[in-house]
Amino acid sequence: MPLNYHHLRYFWAVAHDGNLTRTAQRLNLSQSALSVQIKQLEERLGHALFDRRGRQLHLTEAGRIALDHADAIFATGQELVATLTSTVQSRKALRVGALATLSRNFQIGFLKPVLSRMDVELILRSGSPTELLEGLGTHNFDLVLMNRPPPDDSLTPYETHQIAEQDVRIVGSPERLDPDRPIRELLLDQPFILPTTDNSVRTAFDAMASRLSVRPQVAAEVDDMAMMRLLTREDVGLALVAPIVVKDELNSGLLREAKEHPRIKETFFAITLRRRFPNPLVQYLLEQNVDSALSS
């Protein structure tokens, strides 16, 4: 049986409004008639498209996929009306959430395989860990990028993919950092720009300082890698960062590294949700040699 596009348009309208009553009023239909149209579409597709929680409608995973296709179908129809001479290329949406404090250089490196693809529409949003994981659960994100794994228990359907691991280095301006000095001397003499205490890199740094019997001067505690990069460029102190964060500054000589490494690693993760209908672009990204791309 062919798809009834009237049913699809009614679903499309409700999905964007998020409210059955309001959509029925706007379309000059009864609420019951609109419900019947959507029910018939669900029966045709073989999947529930909405999760009805009280008066609120939330898209299911199948509903999110149907909405992606409906958006493309009706956008194509609008363009067809506007011009009969253009050929519309189908574009696949990829929705990515990233920790707001995550290195922008890392994000670009991870997404590089799809950035130049004309058939991919990338939607990139940032947020807190809670916002990102909630977005996965409501199918607003196909994957999220974080530098910490999500809570691990049997009730959460997350899949955690370790996609990169980088040695953390001590970096600073040429005026401040003598690269030949041992780490202990740097800890004694120089102020440091550090991640906040809830960060695993900071925990490892504090343990290292304790082993060396040093209590370093903390110039700033920062949970944003972009801000840490700026403070280091302003010569506020030495920074403890993964090289990807300050790649451009290291390449240009604006910053340099200490030769002795603190032997601390930062790990980057892509978090996905176990789905019956996974976005094929997610698997494509995960299959790329991300470590090679980031180090190039």
Residue found by looking up tokens 């009306």 in the block: 81
Helices marked H in the chain — which ranges?
A: 5-17, 20-26, 31-45, 61-82, 104-115, 129-137, 183-189, 200-211, 225-233, 247-252, 280-287, 290-295
Domain 5-82 matching CATH 3.90.650.10: the answer reads no
Domain map (residue ranges) of the chain: 5-82, 92-164+268-290, 166-265
Query: H or E stretch including 193?
Result: strand 191-195
Options 3.40.190.10, 1.10.3720.10, 3.40.50.720, 3.30.2350.10; CATH of 92-164+268-290:
3.40.190.10
State the Cα angle at 178 between 177 and 183, rounded to 5°: 85
Residue found by looking up tokens 């409906």 in the block: 70
52 φ, ψ to 5°?
-90, 115
C-alpha pair distances (Å), 12 with each of 1, 27, 70, 88, 149: 20, 12, 6, 20, 35
Q: Are 228 and 193 in contact (CB under 8 A)?
A: yes
Architecture of domain 166-265: 3-Layer(aba) Sandwich (3.40)
Task: Measure the CA–CA gap between 269 and 159, rounded to whole angstroms.
Answer: 10
5-82 and 166-265: same fold? no
pLDDT score recorded for residue 178: 95
222 φ, ψ to 5°?
-135, 135
pLDDT score recorded for residue 79: 62
CA 199, 201, 204, 210 dihedral sign is negative
* Largest pairwise CA distance in the chain: 77
Exposure letters 132-166 (e unless 16+ CB within 10 A, then b): bbebbeebbbbbbbbbeebeeeeeeebbeeebbeb
The answer for residues whose C-beta is within 8 angstroms of residue 30's C-beta and 6 or more apart is 24
Local confidence pLDDT in tens for the 296 residues of the chain: 788 888 999 999 998 888 888 888 888 889 899 999 999 999 999 999 998 877 778 899 999 899 988 888 887 777 666 555 444 456 688 999 999 888 888 888 899 999 988 888 899 999 888 889 888 887 889 999 998 888 776 566 789 998 888 889 999 999 999 999 999 999 999 999 999 888 889 999 999 999 999 999 999 999 888 899 999 999 999 999 988 889 899 999 999 999 999 999 888 899 998 877 788 899 899 887 554 444 44
